[in-house]
Amino acid sequence: MSIFKDCDVRGIYPAEIDETAAYRIGRALATLYPEARLRVGGDVRVSTPTLKTALITGLTDGGVHVEDLGTIPTPALYFALAKGDCDGGATVTASHNPPKYNGVKYMMGENPVTRRDIDALKAVYETGGFADRKGSLSRLDILPDYLAALKRRFRAQRPLKVVVDAGNGAMSRVAPEAFRQSGYQVVELFCEPDGTFPSRDPNPAQYEHLGAVCAKVAEMGADFGVAFDGDGDRAVFIDETGVAVQNERSLALFIRHLLKDRPTPVVYDQKSSSAVKRATLEMGGTPVPERSGHAFIKRRFLELGAAVAGEVSGHFFFGELGYDDGLFAALMMADILVAADRPLSRLAGDIVIPPITPDLRVHCPYSQQDAWLERIEALAGTQPCAVSHMDGVRMEFDHGWLLVRKSVTAEQITLRAEADTEARLREILKMAAEALPEEAREKLGFSLGKGIRD
């Protein structure tokens, strides 16, 4: 499996990515962007310090002028880049992936990298035709400025109590401080940085990982809770009863808040619940579905000048920033609660989400993935539907939809479906199961009984 993904570099440490690889990535970036000025940070993973040192050495050996930002959440890198005085930046992180992974996210200018950028990096990395120049290294402590900007933007009008679950990740020290300086009462949970992530999986978008924070919110009588991923660019919210709020509901609340005075387009990944489209239309905005993936959502969000964008995974992008920030999202959610003077459970409950499955992942060898998608698309000949191919096959039926996509990281296909009623959802899943080979039916058969959530 290649470490060069659609929008970053990522793999298992040290089997797939190690210090030698990080050094070569630095040399390749320096070759592609000669004498660039880059700001470089890293998350709290155990392997990050040595990988970051190797990356920076590769950059400076190739002529790049590096400002080392130290250990930071990824949104602090975006903040550092937005302040200017640099050409781009990079951070050593594997985001929400398990502890054994690590990688490099990078960007030049405000736009995310494209597959073409990644392919160019891979080509130089593999051929080794590196530029040989003399760069420089200095250090920049960006966190005080990042926190000061959040303090200027958010001031509590009512002292809510917030449980902050940093998952031992990069937001461990930053998020509690941001909430306190804005005037909120903070209950810390898993806010000691630990790159082994001993307390929970670093992906909070898998709601089964959130038992501890849900219990803590209820125990402490908090107004809400927030759980961050490993590098702090994703956030998931917990209502005052201790129930995790689906990310589509959270996005709909941001849409209602941000479009009330200035309707704009709203960009969201195509596997989102129809609740997002409905909330956008209700506020006079233009719904713009996009293929799943941080880089794809961000690029379209910037192109359209959208006030807000989001993904099912918990990335929330804000027009006033020009990027996604889990901590900014959490502070804005506090603003929403104060302005509404209603509990989060009631606000979220107003967002009606029809019956919808989670992502259903079915093992499928790479060699068979196209054939499986063709089997699904053949369903279009059996009943009226609209078919699109933004990423995989999406079929819009009467009273529901089905999305089937290839996985870019594993030998899997992923299915998701939504319908007006559970009965219709079961019909769609049954239809998909019958179109696929026998080995896929057991997984989907199980999902017919247990995979639906509303």
The total of other beta-carbon atoms located within 10 Å of residue 193's CB is: 17
Q: Residue 40 pairs with which residues in a beta bridge?
A: 68, 90
Burial of 9 (0-12, 13-18, 19+ CB in 10 A): buried
Q: 403 with 271: CB under 8 angstroms?
A: yes
Torsion of CA 418, 419, 424, 427, to 10 degrees: -20
Query: What is the DSSP secondary-structure string of 193-236?
Result: --BT--SS-S-TTSGGGGHHHHHHHHHHT-SEEEEE-TTSSBEE
Whole-angstrom distance, CA of residue 112 vs CA of residue 194: 28
The total of other beta-carbon atoms located within 10 Å of residue 199's CB is: 19
The total of other beta-carbon atoms located within 10 Å of residue 343's CB is: 15
Whole-angstrom distance, CA of residue 89 vs CA of residue 196: 25
Whole-angstrom distance, CA of residue 454 vs CA of residue 445: 18
For 35: left if phi > 0, alpha if psi spans -120 to 50, otherwise beta; the answer is left
Whole-angstrom distance, CA of residue 249 vs CA of residue 435: 32
For the chain, how many residues are written?
454
Backbone phi and psi for residue 232, each to the nearest 5 degrees, phi listed first: 85, 10
Whole-angstrom distance, CA of residue 180 vs CA of residue 184: 5
Nearest to 159 by CA among 181, 185, 186, 187: 185
State the pairing for strand pair 400-406/316-318. Answer: unpaired
Distances (CA, A) of 387 to 212, 253, 319, 453: 41, 29, 31, 24
Active-site choice (2, 47, 95, 182): 95
Q: Tell me if residue 95 is catalytic.
A: yes
Give alpha helix (H) positions in 90-170: 115-127, 143-153
Q: 174 with 73: CB under 8 angstroms?
A: yes
Q: ∠ CA 376-377-381 to the nearest 5 degrees?
A: 110
Q: Which residues are catalytic?
A: 95
